[in-house]
Structure 1
């Protein structure tokens, strides 16, 4: 029965992702909204560069929605601009609405895969979680992360870049006159998989980067906390496309890594195609079972420059100051369970208030199975109930 349940959810995910591929030729390829201004205008992190009203798929009639471009900060501390989506239920007073910065999971490197575009056309595979939060009366803000523009250079799985983007879209939403959101609103960061890592990076960075935010909690499910341990489970397996995308993301964030220098002819062709064309469906299906040795002349992952940057992107170096809900499937076949459990233990030793939950399930099923626990944790934080730890 458990296997049937899991397979049905996998089918549901793939059906949603297939729907996301359908409008590929009608996607944002010619949409100048996503093109960063050159040169970048002056602005502090969170300042709005441009904004436009948007649809939001099947929920358009129940929310006010905007796509926004805002200032943020890259992995090396450089100024950048990032796009994203802001959703506010029409049924709530925005002046009193709490805010969830929802860090999306993996949508893929191609420009058309930007999470805000998937939300706009109604093709987000995380829509059940988004709908739950909107029904609860929360404003939901969703970053695209760095690099979704016509010449995509996404910095996938790069902690500081993603954490800054998760934080700064809250600032952008609060600074937009159109939203009516309060700068004193209570805030929670939430995400799963890539988004779980981004959420916890945001929580670690927030005290020094955005101390003005009224952060009350963070949620991270299926978290890739230690990229070395995660990568060991991906080569030659279901999630190889995520490993390849991780190399691309790190290379985009840190130019000195020079990924192309390690690629053979097949690797150059396929990695370039991945950046142009691949969303989640292609990452899962086109690259399933592939090995890094098929695409490289020598492996970059054990060289000193790569090891140093990977180490920089290991979570746990800073204690989170707000309560944290972490969860993971014990049979996760994409993101190693043990390395997230190790992060939980690190946080516990550092005195973080951790609510830890495990599920007897795989990675894709965990996208959905953890929603109820995450929703209950967020509701408690916004209600001001005391947080408990099961360290």
Structure 2
């Protein structure tokens, strides 16, 4: 195992030998997220390093930061960070069930990685999963924590990082991880796990996916863009999406954005929204984004129209049971959009448990539905036949 403090000391010695510099001192945490060429020698899904997280909010569990090999959209190997929580309660055998968590939007800046937060374990249902003896792995996604553009609402980039996180922990004695796993995500993370479910059979053939659970997943992106374009949060998320797609695919934003929009987008690009203060900062920056912050509807022209279609989760490739939760008061991921996706799953003869919760908004749906989601996951691990709420 790599000694982070030794690496940090070596880096500081190297800097000291170069003469006076104005750079900030290198911390062990910064060193942890540093990806060198030699770190990428292994195949995607190879663990690079891990480090314990000393945190008091977790009872009867151990937590770790992890860094592992994955792929970017070009197929090149990259480093991706995340975290792992392992229950210390007795398991059900030689190995533990694994849940792969995919987080909701935190931003598209390098500093917005959940594993960098002061409390990185704010995973809905984590206490129930610890009580169940699970191992939970949670990717940051590429570009959050580690270098590179963030594949925000780009299904392939998100899905690969989720599945590779499950592969990475299997080599760890600390994880006690079996090959059976369930996917669980919220909002952007719901989008990620639905894509991961559709990719798992080919990308992670050595693993056994038992089900996918998603709270308010982003599905029909064009419909959500149209529905949310007149709301402050909707325009912020649209700005993040367009910036991410432009960076990842090389399509210029010239012509699509008004001149006033560019400066505001640059501010949003540096703002994390995983905390209340971050949300307020982003909302303050967005006040300059008027209703005419785009020169035209991205869904009306290429390449944006094609990207919106290509990054809709495809229900036809999901072969495992699904649990979908939706808040009735969600004004960001609209209930009618999620219901439309569930209807598509049902028409394709999938097993779906669809839970709608009155008076629950977008931010609360993952926490509110977590107990039901974990109970549903537990049934998958115990081999109970999934109850299908699709109309016969």
Q: Which residue of 2 aligns with 1:122?
A: 119
Q: Which residue of 1 aligns with 2:144?
A: 148
Q: Which residue of 1 aligns with 2:248?
A: 253
What is the TM-score with the length of structure 2 in the denominator? 0.83
Distance in 2, Cα, partners of 1:296 & 1:236: 11
Distance in 2, Cα, partners of 1:203 & 1:308: 22
Please state whether the residue corresponding to 2:163 is helix, strand or coil.
Answer: helix
Q: Deviations over 1:32-71 (max 9, x none)?
A: 3223324762322211122222234521x63222211112
* Residue 328 (structure 1) shift: 0.8
Instruction: Decide whether the 8 Å contact of 1:110 with 1:277 is kept in 2.
Output: yes
Q: Which residue of 1 aligns with 2:213?
A: 219
Q: Deviations over 1:209-266 (max 9, x none)?
A: 11111211110110110110111122231422222112222223322x2235644444
Answer yes or no: is 1:179 the counterpart of 2:178: no
Distance in 1, Cα, partners of 2:25 & 2:286: 27
Q: Which residue of 1 aligns with 2:324?
A: 326
Q: 1:55 to 1:294 in 2, by over 3 A?
A: farther
Structure 1 segments unaligned to the other structure (5+ residues): 1-24
Instruction: Decide whether the 8 Å contact of 2:135 with 2:175 is kept in 1.
Output: no
Q: Which residue of 2 aligns with 1:207?
A: 201
Q: 1:211 to 1:154 in 2, by over 3 A?
A: same
Question: Matches of residues 132-143 of structure 1 in structure 2 within 5 Å?
Answer: 132-143=128-139
Rg comparison, structure with higher value: 2
Structure 2 segments unaligned to the other structure (5+ residues): 1-23
Q: Deviations over 1:254-295 (max 9, x none)?
A: 22x223564444433222222223323444633566646554
Instruction: Decide whether the 8 Å contact of 2:40 with 2:79 is kept in 1.
Output: no
Q: 1:70 to 1:296 in 2, by over 3 A?
A: same
Instruction: Decide whether the 8 Å contact of 1:28 with 1:112 is kept in 2.
Output: no
Distance in 1, Cα, partners of 2:263 & 2:273: 17
Please state whether the residue corresponding to 1:35 is helix, strand or coil.
Answer: coil
Distance in 2, Cα, partners of 1:263 & 1:149: 28
Instruction: Decide whether the 8 Å contact of 2:45 with 2:68 is kept in 1.
Output: yes
Distance in 2, Cα, partners of 1:159 & 1:80: 17
Query: Which one has more relative contact order, counting CA pairs under 8 Å at least 6 apart?
Result: 1
Question: Matches of residues 7-156 of structure 1 in structure 2 within 5 Å?
Answer: 31-38=30-37, 41-56=40-55, 58-59=57-58, 62-93=60-91, 95-118=94-117, 121-122=118-119, 126-149=122-145, 153-156=149-152
What is the TM-score with the length of structure 1 in the denominator? 0.83
Distance in 1, Cα, partners of 2:286 & 2:27: 27
RMSD (CA atoms): 2.8
Please state whether the residue corresponding to 1:268 is helix, strand or coil.
Answer: helix
